[in-house]
Amino acid sequence: MKALKYIGMALAFPMMFACQQSDVQQDTDYQSMSDEERLEAARSMAQEFIMVDGHVDLPYRMKVGGFTLQREMLDVSERTDGGNFDYPRAKEGGLDAPFMSIYIPASYQERGGAKAFADSLILMTERIADTWPDKYAMAYSPSDIESNFEKGLISLPMGMENGAPIEDKLENVAYFHERGIRYVTLTHGKDNLIGDSSYDDTKTHGGLSEFGKEVVKEMNRVGIMVDISHVSDDTFYDVMELTSVPVIASHSSARKFTPGFERNMDDDMIKKLAENDGVIMINFGGSFIDGDYQQKTGEVREHIVNWLAENELSRNDPEAQKYISEYSAKHNPFPDVQKVADHIDHVVSLVGINHVGLGSDFDGVGDSLPTGLKDVSMYPNLFAELLKRGYSKEDIEKICSTNVFRVWRAVEDFASKS
């Protein structure tokens, strides 16, 4: 018996030591690290955790770049000139599952063809996975993303930005679920058949239309996440009263920092979203995170235009390019990575760590991206800033994917029982 006791103690000791090591790791004081050490820790976390970004506009970037199903595609398996996304940079930044935005400009609501345009972007996204199967794979669930992550592949889940392709046919909700769409942003730049947009002051429906209410119910039924980015405040509250499952804001930020900008969410909306167990995924665009961004950029632009005129130069002249570069650097109008962290801080202070994620809007907000977050290689800069502010390793994982996976799985579970 004594021998068995000692054997048991011997077996238990390494387990106890492992637990102690785990406790030490959990208690790591990232705030006391140097900036270099903290950034290295952030890079490690970005590689260790599955990272989901709620909104990347690559398909539309490819479409407007002239790439079609019949022509040679932009080679996003290699580092590209311009844009914010490609495979090498995504791997450097630790991005594993960028939601490919199937973006439908509001003009298609007016002239028709929204459904066909959506189908073309879906096919383009699928072609990326088919063309580079050693780098990309389609994903239709958190389980797909987890499986792809184990294989070292970047997942390409899809969200449809603007519900216009549903047209006036409720059956198109199930159609787009079958095509792989896993969230629908109900509106975009203008009111549509579903509801009112934050960018449109017409207030066509005063919130959700009667058809829109049926669309939300049908999305719940088939298993498509409802995305309330871009909707008016009235539409948001109608959705919250109606939905049977949590919802997301795939690429929105906090209105506290951008007063009057309805496209962002105010504090009451963020609290309501959290009561519903939803997630706000923070947009990185300059006008989303800095209320003074437009004014700052306007002042820099005006100065440069006047300087060029006074000196009788064009932007292409070497002297002008040198001056513009130096002046812009000295009077940098861009926010920095700390501004994005401020938005995350604000959400966490309001509703806790379980209701915030990443929704960069890469490839969708032009050159307005903040210093330190110019492309998909730079997420670790944000994580390092959060660690500096006292966020834990577990917090970073929640922001990366745990929170949005919780919502996504709740939507799947409800649909499976409907």
Determine contact, residues 172/166, Cβ cutoff 8 Å. yes
Determine contact, residues 99/229, Cβ cutoff 8 Å. no
Residues 311-339 have a mean pLDDT of 85
Which pLDDT does position 48 carry in this prediction?
98
CA distance 90 to 378: 9
- Residue 14 pLDDT more than 50? no
Q: For the chain, which domains are there? A: 33-290+335-417 (3.20.20.140), 291-334 (no CATH)
Axis-axis angle for helices 293-310, 318-330 (nearest 10): 150
Which pLDDT does position 309 carry in this prediction?
85
CA distance 336 to 378: 12
Each residue of 153-210: pLDDT tens digit? 999 999 999 999 999 999 999 999 999 999 999 999 999 999 999 999 999 999 999 9
Q: Which of 265, 244, 260, 286 shows the shortest CA–CA distance to 201? A: 260
- Residue 359 pLDDT more than 70? yes
Q: What's the pLDDT band for 26 if we cut at 50, 70, 90? A: low
Which pLDDT does position 296 carry in this prediction?
76
- Residue 8 pLDDT more than 50? no
- Bigger pLDDT: 65 vs 385: 385
Determine contact, residues 337/370, Cβ cutoff 8 Å. yes
Which pLDDT does position 71 carry in this prediction?
56
Which pLDDT does position 349 carry in this prediction?
98
Q: Which of 283, 353, 367 shows the shortest CA–CA distance to 99? A: 283
CA distance 31 to 385: 10
**How many C-beta atoms lie closer than 10 Å to residue 26's C-beta?**
10
- Residue 107 pLDDT more than 60? yes
Which pLDDT does position 385 carry in this prediction?
98
Each residue of 67-104: pLDDT tens digit? 655 557 789 999 998 899 999 999 999 999 999 999 99
Q: Which of 51, 52, 55, 396 shows the shortest CA–CA distance to 251? A: 55
Listed in order, strand segments (DSSP E) in 224-296 are 225-227, 248-249, 279-282
Residues 215-234 have a mean pLDDT of 98
Each residue of 287-302: pLDDT tens digit? 999 988 877 777 777 7
When mean pLDDT is compared across 121-135, 237-251, 284-298, the lowest value belongs to 284-298
When mean pLDDT is compared across 38-47, 185-194, 302-311, the lowest value belongs to 302-311
Arithmetic mean of pLDDT over the chain: 91
- Residue 19 pLDDT more than 50? no
Which pLDDT does position 65 carry in this prediction?
77
Residues 57-68 have a mean pLDDT of 83
Which pLDDT does position 67 carry in this prediction?
65
Instruction: Express as a percent the part of the chain with pLDDT over 70.
Output: 91
Which pLDDT does position 214 carry in this prediction?
98
Which pLDDT does position 9 carry in this prediction?
37
Which pLDDT does position 69 carry in this prediction?
54
Which pLDDT does position 329 carry in this prediction?
72
Which pLDDT does position 1 carry in this prediction?
37
Listed in order, strand segments (DSSP E) in 139-237 are 154-156, 158-161, 181-185, 225-227
Which pLDDT does position 304 carry in this prediction?
85
Q: Which residues contact 394 (CB under 8 A, 6 or more apart)?
A: 26
Which pLDDT does position 3 carry in this prediction?
39
Which pLDDT does position 74 carry in this prediction?
87
